[in-house]
Structure 1
Amino acid sequence: MLAPPARPESTTAHGTHGNHPSMTTPSELQPVRDHIASRIIGQQPFIDSMLVCLLSDGHLLVEGMPGLAKTTAVKALAESLEGDFHRIQFTPDLLPSDLIGTDIYRHEKGEFEFRQGPLFHNLLLADEVNRAPAKVQSALLEAMAEHQITVGQRTYPLPKLFMVLATQNPVEQEGTYHLPEAQLDRFLMQAVVTYPTRDEEIKILELDSQQQTQSHAPPIKPLTQEELFAMRRDVAGLYLDPKLHSYIVDLVQATRQPKRYDRDLGRWCRFGASPRASIALARCARARAWLDGDTFVTPQHIQSVAPEILRHRILLTFEAEAEGVTTDAFVNRLLTLVAIP
């Protein structure tokens, strides 16, 4: 175990503490998790992915067939947080101004006034994001990448708390398009939502019956933005051993030079992950460790988040697709080959 080096106890304005650097605890986020779990059955990995992205100040891409509660889960997360929430349905006729807003001419003032669009909300649900044209994707990319939007010659900053949760149907569905690689790279993680088990689907029917008979959902006290930012600071300060920095870089480098580890992996991969994947692995591994109640990051934390960080950043060859190889299979095999410190 790569534990942090021992330190003498120190006293701060918060009190006395030793090797435990965190002032916040996962229990403070438990009401958010419970509220989401009360709205959907199962899908625990998906819920964890939303919380990891929330703590890591990143954006989440969610892929799954229609009807798997993707939108319901995102709405439940928004209900649990203090801030503005907006859902926008992406369609082929969507315009960039439908996202960023537009300048409106005020005749009484004799000047143009900017009217903000949905991107100025704290949480944005981009439903079926892969149905929109390229110009709309470009507008969304600037917001995700630069935390700002540009209209004409003016640039407007977005709120400090800004998170995009985008859902997409598999590209095999009619009327969908591949997202640009530059935009995919801006999503911190990609979660894949699968069909529920038989027992879970029975519970879904029971939950639906309960919701039909209840006039109002039970109230929840939302997590404040100050509380969330405090959690993010503690997550960012979680100990990550320098040897694990090397392990993270080795994993990402292996996606670019897979033939050094395995001949088949070399045949299957066209392009590997960018350095942004290394940053994402470190940030999300810290968040995963914090959620688990640990005070330092282990290789297991890195491995647990690696598939969701790498699956949308790796481009497979046509040969791999012909052999039925998926990016998840590629990543899982790579995790068994790259040496753990």
Structure 2
Amino acid sequence: MKNALLLALPLLALATVSARAEPLQVGISVGSLGNPFFVAAKNGAVTEARLADPNAQITTVSSDYDLNKQINQMQNFISSGDKIILLNAADPEAIAPAVASAKAQGIVVAAFDVAAKGATVTAMTDNIKAGEMSCQYLADKLGHKGDIVIINGPHVSSVIDRVKGCEQVFAQYPAMKVLNDNQDAKGSRDGGFAVAQTLLTRFGHIDGMFVINEEEALGTDLAAHQQGRHEMIITTVDGSPAGVEALKSSTSLIVATAAQNPFEIARTALRLGLDVLHGKPPAQTTVLLPPALVTRDNVASYNGWVNN
């Protein structure tokens, strides 16, 4: 009996080592890998995962803002045995059942960039502040008067909060009139171009535009140039490489952006998720990262996403 036990001990030790050696598995679902914001976010998450486990297995997929597609992605992450799901929710409310299913399997769901109902932890930009910052600059540049258009985006918390922050600024100035604020440009350059074409045709004069992200803003800028409309200025949110180039261009109508740090947003979300996974739940389950205003005056000193 004693000999049998002694023979079994090495096997038990090997089993324990094998169990400990299982690599960290992380599933990441982002809005669109065609957007450089999510490429930077993915890089931040991968960096943090590799620090935690050099052999971490990381799968990154694009939901393309399609709820059903993202639900299927969540189910695949669950089936694959992922320990953490990093989630950029296509719909912050409707994704709740998929989040609950993952948590029921012991998976930590870390939301990033936008909220997701039921998520274990969340990290995102303070988007109300980003909207306020961008629109305060717009209001100041226009002398607190003029006709304004807000080009909206996907119905997710980050966009909703940016528009909310922006409209809170404009509400302070009776001489600022918001002509339209409900057109969804889908978060993309093509969407921004299409919506801007319609709005520029509809309104013969626009003094300023707040556009919810730089991809939309770049499309808006192109549409304005194609229609020979140069009377307005544009402010936005992101701080992307393309946005920086627009700020440096004397012909662009984009004059300011509230810069985010997607690398650090996703990295923070994964770090919070790892803490929970290791039995150390954070004091704050939601972390808001501050934006920074980048304008033509200070763009030369802005480090940008690529230097994270």
TM over 0.5: no
Comparing both structures, which one devotes a greater share of its residues to strand? Answer: 2
Q: Which has the higher contact order (CA 8 A, sep 6+)?
A: 1
TM-score of the pair, normalised by structure 2: 0.30
TM (normalized to structure 1)?
A: 0.28
